[in-house]
Structure 1
Amino acid sequence: MNTNKISAGENIAGNKEKPSPEPLDLEALYHRYGIERSHADNVARNVLELFNILAPVHGLRPEFRKLVEIAALVHDAGVATDLENHHKAGRDILLLHPPANLPEKLWQVVAWTAYLHKKRIGEKKLKKLNEKDFGNMPEDLQALTLKVAALVRLADALDYSRMGSKIGQVSYGKQSIRFEIKGNGSAIDAERMRKKGDLWHLLYSTKLEFVSEIKK
């Protein structure tokens, strides 16, 4: 048994007496928690592209690009510890070992982004977040976390097939943006992006559409 890893039943976020965070750099996190590096790199690439394309809508300042990238790189930190509940395990791991590459103020943003990246999100789930430690965060950090998570969910979905899908042509409507997804797994990943766009559509009025490329 690897004592460095958090057990499936351990929930740092719910403990009354929480251990002090011990930051780790990204390489240490990759090594200790067996993060799938190729997927992490693809999701980070995807999220930065989405950050740029959607900047007029999400309104995040350019200095948050690093935050979004690192959140993408470690979003699956809990997979090797507890595959079924890796969103919870990842949150707990990142609360205990936040990325040393970020300022302390943003550590919880990364941890809760990991928690929010996996399952379907609706109004009911967003309201329930306030019953967790998420609700104790300052409101500006809560809002920032949701925006980062919305982007990471889409970036993760774009690599769902693990077949190297990429964003192709982007078309802009009055209240919509249409993405063509390219690659052998484009049909799978476009469908996944449609599902994982739920949080984005709760936060923003601009509708996102995802279609697989039409191969000639």
Structure 2
Amino acid sequence: MTEFHEMKPQGKVLLPRPLPLEALYHKYGIERSHADNVARNVLELFDVLAPVHGLGPEFRKLVEIAALVHDSGVATDMENHHKAGRDILLLHPPANLPEKLWQVVAWTAFLHKKKIGKKKLHKLNEKEFGNMPEDLQALTLKVAALVRLADALDYSRLESRLGEVTFGKQRIRFEIKGNGSVIDAERMRKKGDLWHLLYNTKLDFVPEIKRR
């Protein structure tokens, strides 16, 4: 039994106790190389897609931190790490963020893993997510859409990167570079489901073409 579960006696509500990022990494065994890659990816996506997602630069740090801690639950419960991560971050939110944004990071961790469709979005309102102010719910979904793509770009753990970006009419094409580009481009296509529920701009991901 992990220390995390021992700290949650049944029926007892615990007040959040913020932890610095380094303490979260150590306490919950977060894979630093993956976390750093996803954070790098999400910042690149945030910048490229800024005209579409509409989040101001004041949210750039939020998406970075959400990416850094999205896998907080892996060491606690690999199979259900999205749920474990949410619970961990509700209990120990990143001290680097204002209290108002703590739940955004926790629910981003919950939303980063599984397939998301309209039915799942509707069911979110039956959870504690539905008790959040509507503006924070909307913000969480936007952050989660970006983190899902950034996580997918590092799915192979082969250091894939964004390559050439081509803008069309309500369509953006990303070339994915690196030895894992075929795997990661396909993963990004799958994990783009939430993005495509939120926005009309279609995203395409293709592995790089080796030019001779």
TM-score bucket (shorter structure):
over 0.9
> Which residue of structure 2 aligns with residue 136 of structure 1?
131
> Which residue of structure 1 aligns with residue 103 of structure 2?
108
Distance in 1 (CA, whole Å) between partners of 2:45 and 2:11 is 38
Q: 2:13 aligns with which of 9, 18, 21?
A: 18
TM-superposed CA distance for 1:6, in Å, is 3.0
Q: 1:158 aligns with which of 149, 153, 163?
A: 153
Distance in 1 (CA, whole Å) between partners of 2:5 and 2:80 is 12
Tell me if the contact between 1:118 and 1:153 (Cα under 8 Å) persists in the aligned partners: yes
- Amino acid in structure 1 at the alignment position of 2:51: P
- Amino acid in structure 2 at the alignment position of 1:103: P
> Which residue of structure 2 aligns with residue 60 of structure 1?
55
Tell me if the contact between 2:42 and 2:150 (Cα under 8 Å) persists in the aligned partners: yes
- Amino acid in structure 1 at the alignment position of 2:106: A
Distance in 2 (CA, whole Å) between partners of 1:207 and 1:16 is 44
Q: Relative to 1, partners in 2 of residues 1:88 and 1:66: Cα closer, same or farther, differing over 3 Å?
A: same
- Amino acid in structure 2 at the alignment position of 1:78: G
Tell me if the contact between 1:6 and 1:89 (Cα under 8 Å) persists in the aligned partners: no
> Which residue of structure 1 aligns with residue 39 of structure 2?
44
Q: 1:31 aligns with which of 20, 26, 34?
A: 26
Q: 1:185 aligns with which of 177, 180, 183?
A: 180
Superposed CA deviations along residues 164-214 of structure 1, whole A, max 9, x for unmatched, are: 000000000011000000000000000000000000000000000000001
Tell me if the contact between 2:160 and 2:176 (Cα under 8 Å) persists in the aligned partners: yes
- Amino acid in structure 1 at the alignment position of 2:70: H
- Three-state SS of the structure 1 residue aligned to 2:74 is coil
TM-score by length of 2: 0.96
RMSD value over aligned CA atoms?
1.3
Distance in 2 (CA, whole Å) between partners of 1:193 and 1:160 is 9
> Which residue of structure 2 aligns with residue 123 of structure 1?
118
Aligned length: 210
TM-score by length of 1: 0.95
- Three-state SS of the structure 1 residue aligned to 2:5 is coil
- Three-state SS of the structure 2 residue aligned to 1:211 is strand
Task: Tell whether 2:93 aligns with 1:98.
Answer: yes
TM-superposed CA distance for 1:2, in Å, is 4.0
Tell me if the contact between 2:2 and 2:76 (Cα under 8 Å) persists in the aligned partners: no
Distance in 2 (CA, whole Å) between partners of 1:193 and 1:6 is 33
Distance in 2 (CA, whole Å) between partners of 1:135 and 1:60 is 21
Task: Tell whether 2:33 aligns with 1:6.
Answer: no
Tell me if the contact between 2:175 and 2:206 (Cα under 8 Å) persists in the aligned partners: yes
Distance in 2 (CA, whole Å) between partners of 1:189 and 1:215 is 16
Distance in 1 (CA, whole Å) between partners of 2:209 and 2:132 is 45
Superposed CA deviations along residues 61-112 of structure 1, whole A, max 9, x for unmatched, are: 1000000000000000000000000000000000000000000000000000
